[in-house]
């Protein structure tokens, strides 16, 4: 649930931005404290939980089959590519490769580069007349 103080504005912004593929399934599920602000730390925690749940046998890496199960089970990663996560191209995804990979959602909507996507940034993305700052945020994970 979103905090009551900003839920109307965020709901409106999300409704207007539904055509954006990053928001087609509603707000991201990894907003741990349900405050309507999506942070890099929340993303990393979410990805760590996904990794642990998919790493059968606790071997410390994901196989292509395990990665496919994550894609099927989580809509936010449905279009993810194995090669995007497998940085060293060894045919498996380590925990670090998976958890430390930046969130495409945050990189797209975090216009001020503070590693947080706020309701205001979502509203700006939903309103083409006011697109907000045009500077692309740097990758804050590496």
What does the pLDDT look like over 27-73, one tens digit per residue?
778 888 999 999 999 999 999 999 999 999 999 999 999 999 999 87
Cα angle for residues 67, 31, 65 (degrees, 5° grid): 5
Calculate the alpha carbon distances from 79 to 5, 22, 73 in Å: 33, 10, 12
Helix (H) or strand (E) holding 94, with range, is strand 93-94
Question: Within its chain, how far is the Cα of 52 from the centroid?
Answer: 17
Per cent of the chain over pLDDT 90 is 52
What does the pLDDT look like over 69-82, one tens digit per residue?
999 877 778 889 99
pLDDT of residue 78: 86
pLDDT of residue 61: 97
Instruction: Read off the pLDDT of each residue in 1-27 and give the average, rounded to a whole number.
Output: 45
In terms of Cα–Cα distance, which of 87, 104, 120 is closest to 30?
104
| DSSP SS3 for 61 | strand
pLDDT of residue 128: 65
Torsion of CA 21, 75, 105, 99, to 10 degrees: -160
pTM greater than 0.85 = no
Q: Supply the mean pLDDT for the chain.
A: 79
């Amino acid at each position: 649930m979103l905090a009551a103080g900003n839920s109307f504005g965020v709901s409106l912004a999300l409704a207007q931005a539904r055509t954006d593929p990053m928001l087609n399934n509603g707000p991201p599920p990894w907003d741990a404290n349900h405050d309507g602000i999506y942070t890099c730390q929340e993303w990393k925690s979410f990805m760590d939980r996904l990794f642990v749940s998919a790493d059968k046998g606790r071997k410390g890496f994901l196989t292509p089959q395990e990665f496919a199960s994550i894609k099927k089970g989580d809509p936010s990663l449905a279009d993810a590519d194995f090669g995007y996560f497998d940085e060293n191209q060894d045919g498996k995804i380590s925990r670090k490769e998976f958890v430390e990979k930046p969130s495409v959602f945050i990189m797209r909507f975090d216009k001020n580069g503070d590693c947080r996507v706020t309701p205001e940034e979502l509203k700006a993305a939903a309103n083409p007349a006011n697109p907000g700052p045009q500077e692309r945020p740097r990758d804050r994970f590496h």
